[in-house]
Amino acid sequence: MSVPPESVVPPPPSEPIGSEAIPAEERTWAMLAHLSALLGGLLTASFGRGWGCFVGPLVIWLVKKDTMPFVNDQAKEALNFNITVALASLVLLVLSIITFGIGLIIAIPLWIIIGVAWLVLTIIAALKANEGVRYRYPFALRLIK
């Protein structure tokens, strides 16, 4: 028994729903905006806790913000998240210094938690950006609008 062609369900679209068919080049640059934070953090880790994590997203945002709207959005998101992570780390460092090292009892476990969350959320954001999905970090101060 054959099925009439009108009743055949078409395959799902290749682009995620709501992605407005974002070009592959824009998705790649958006993914690189997120991943550049990892590279910046790793390259500056030997100089003092990886403070360069926001340099990569900042450079990509400044270069691509006027020509690629999706990259503009995702690079700002990556920049805001990495500034938030840097500020949280700085607050913990100041707490440790002010308390003459006693604050390290709180700071060290929090640095580990922040580091793992930073790594996991950055990877998730890069994967979502590569799929054309506008990712929002759950714990980011929206400083750059």
Residue with the bigger pLDDT between 141 and 2: it is: 141
Residue 15: per-residue pLDDT: 47
Give 112's Cβ-side CA count (13 Å radius): 5
71 closest CA partner among 81, 83, 58: 58
Percent of the chain whose pLDDT exceeds 90: 51
Please give the Cα distance from 69 to 128 (Å, whole number). 16
Residue 77: per-residue pLDDT: 94
pLDDT in tens, 76-119: 999 999 999 889 988 998 999 999 889 889 999 998 999 899 99
In a domain, 143, yes or no: no
For residue 119 the two structure tokens come to 């790594």
For residue 63 the two structure tokens come to 């270069």
- Name the helix (H) or strand (E) containing 37: helix 24-43
pLDDT in tens, 33-78: 999 988 887 877 666 566 778 888 999 999 988 899 999 999 999 9
**Residues 127-141, mean pLDDT to the nearest whole number:** 91
Residue 119 Cα distances to 37, 47, 62, angstroms: 9, 19, 23
**Residues 11-17, mean pLDDT to the nearest whole number:** 48
Confidence (pTM): 0.79
Residue 107 sits in which domain range? 22-131
In a domain, 12, yes or no: no
For residue 85 the two structure tokens come to 């992570």
Percent of the chain whose pLDDT exceeds 70: 81
In a domain, 43, yes or no: yes
In a domain, 44, yes or no: yes
Residue with the bigger pLDDT between 12 and 35: it is: 35
Residue 8: per-residue pLDDT: 59
In a domain, 10, yes or no: no
Quickly count: other Cβ atoms within 10 Å of residue 133's Cβ.
Answer: 20
Provide the domain count of the chain: 1
